[in-house]
Amino acid sequence: MSSELLRNLKPSETLGSIAKVNKLKEKGINVISFGAGEPDFPTPKPIKEEAEKALNNDFTKYTPTSGIIELRDAICQKLLKDNKIEYKPSNIVVSNGAKHSLFNICYAICPAGGEILIQKPYWVSYPDMIYAAGGVPVNVVSSSSKTFKVSATDLEKKRTDKTVAFIINSPNNPTSEVYSKDELKDIAEWALKNNVWIISDEIYEKIVFNGHEHYSIPYLCPDMKDKTFVVNGMSKAYSMTGWRIGYAAGPEDIIKKIVLFQSHTTSCPNSIAQKAAVKALDGEAKDVEGMVTAFERRKEIIFKGINEIKGLKANKPEGAFYILVDCSEILKGREISDFCNFLLDNVHILVISGNAFGIENHVRLSFATSDENIIEGLKRLAKGVELWINSL
């Protein structure tokens, strides 16, 4: 019997997809995965070398719970340089991935039954982490037919006296949309007026296309600085998903509470990974640019390829490395999860059902995989759709 808080948790379908693919590969099946979103590039060499150095120098003990000072300094410099927000190391807590940072924030600010607003479609883990923190996720749907992005008016419709926070993720997983400067300003002003926290998940910050730009709310609305958490990490920008380093920047009093909580739960983030993260923030921009160029090229291939398949529709991704595909036309009353299973069984490609993100009749494809895989995967997808339509 589990605790009340954990009773309703569902498995993470994105992480589950990795296990599914590995199992099939073990059986000798050549699966192409458009599943979990993790860059296919190796972690850049200088970052790995820094980790080796840390290991050889026996940097293998507990570190300060909030993270080593070099890393918190490097994060402050990054936030100043890239996001134009001034923080002190005491405003920063380093955790085991941005996912951990997000959970800690929810846990720190949400009273039992407090409501946290999320845009629907949402990233798979938001509802569950809010439940696990004792809160209630409240879905906000865009009133526009052109975008999934929610406006201050949409948020206001869902605000109650229990509303604690709004989690915003831009560039967005799974929609790949990027909120504009004006949209963010409006949301920040609404939050300020109504005393609502903003939890800004900026993990895909570096991956923006076609002139779209990323902005942080405390830069656009300095009065919101003490009511905003900026969350980011190493996973996506530096291809360091397994190293598990993420961080939150926010008001010192709550950051202190999170550090206290970590001191009783995880002690500190991994010592070696922290040293590697300092190196990443110190100057791996060239690798980052190379990865973004590859994502930009892959985005074009996948966007064109999907829209050439009769019955499938997708908008052009503006950021991150996902494409959300509308499959309504080919479902004809059948379930989207059956379509996903059909693709896996018949043409050996893995896509994630929109149900994981709270959107019906859609699938999400991650294009953080090689050009060759994308090209071959698109051929298989076209074949799979044809077989699916003919199987009616």
Contact status: 15 vs ligand GLU (CB under 6 A) = yes
Q: Is the dihedral of CA 255, 261, 266, 271 positive or negative?
A: positive
Query: Of 14, 169, 170, 262, which one interacts with ligand GLU (CB under 6 A)?
Result: 14
Q: How far apart are CA 155 and CA 164, in angstroms?
A: 12
Contact status: 262 vs ligand PMP (CB under 6 A) = no
Q: How far apart are CA 148 and CA 162, in angstroms?
A: 24
Q: How far apart are CA 333 and CA 115, in angstroms?
A: 34
Query: Of 31, 43, 99, 119, which one interacts with ligand PMP (CB under 6 A)?
Result: 99
| Least spacing, CB of residue 70 vs ligand GLU, in Å | 26
Q: Is the dihedral of CA 362, 367, 368, 369 positive or negative?
A: positive
- The two most distant CA atoms of the chain are separated, in Å, by 63
Contact status: 319 vs ligand GLU (CB under 6 A) = no
Contact status: 169 vs ligand PMP (CB under 6 A) = yes
Ranges within 107-136 binding ligand GLU (CB under 6 A): 124-125
SS3 category, 36: coil
| Least spacing, CB of residue 37 vs ligand PMP, in Å | 6
Contact status: 123 vs ligand PMP (CB under 6 A) = yes
SS3 category, 113: coil
CA separation (Å) from 99 to 128, 202, 212, 379? 11, 11, 25, 34
Contact status: 203 vs ligand PMP (CB under 6 A) = yes
Contact status: 201 vs ligand PMP (CB under 6 A) = yes
Contact status: 12 vs ligand GLU (CB under 6 A) = yes
Written as one string, the DSSP assignment of 37-73 is ----SPPPHHHHHHHHHHHHTT--S---TT--HHHHH
Are 378 and 323 in contact, with CB atoms under 8 Å apart?
no
DSSP secondary structure code for residue 319 in this structure: B
Interacting partner of 233 out of ligand GLU, ligand PMP, none (Cβ under 5 to 8 A depending on kind)? ligand PMP
Interacting partner of 36 out of ligand GLU, ligand PMP, none (Cβ under 5 to 8 A depending on kind)? ligand GLU
| Least spacing, CB of residue 124 vs ligand GLU, in Å | 6
Choose the binding region for ligand PMP from 94-102, 148-156, 281-289, 293-301 (rule: CB under 6 A). 94-102
Choose the binding region for ligand PMP from 5-13, 91-99, 214-222, 383-391 (rule: CB under 6 A). 91-99
Interacting partner of 98 out of ligand GLU, ligand PMP, none (Cβ under 5 to 8 A depending on kind)? ligand PMP
Residue 179, φ and ψ in degrees, nearest 5: -70, 140
Q: How far apart are CA 297 and CA 226, in angstroms?
A: 39
Q: How far apart are CA 241 and CA 248, in angstroms?
A: 17
Parallel, antiparallel or unpaired: strands 136-140 and 115-119: parallel
| Least spacing, CB of residue 173 vs ligand GLU, in Å | 5
| Least spacing, CB of residue 161 vs ligand PMP, in Å | 28
Residues in the chain, how many? 392
Q: Which one, 123 or 179, has the nearer CB to ligand GLU?
A: 123
User: Contact residues for ligand PMP (CB under 6 A)?
Assistant: 37, 97-99, 123, 169, 173, 201, 203, 233, 235, 241, 246
User: Contact residues for ligand GLU (CB under 6 A)?
Assistant: 12, 14-15, 36-38, 99, 124-125, 173
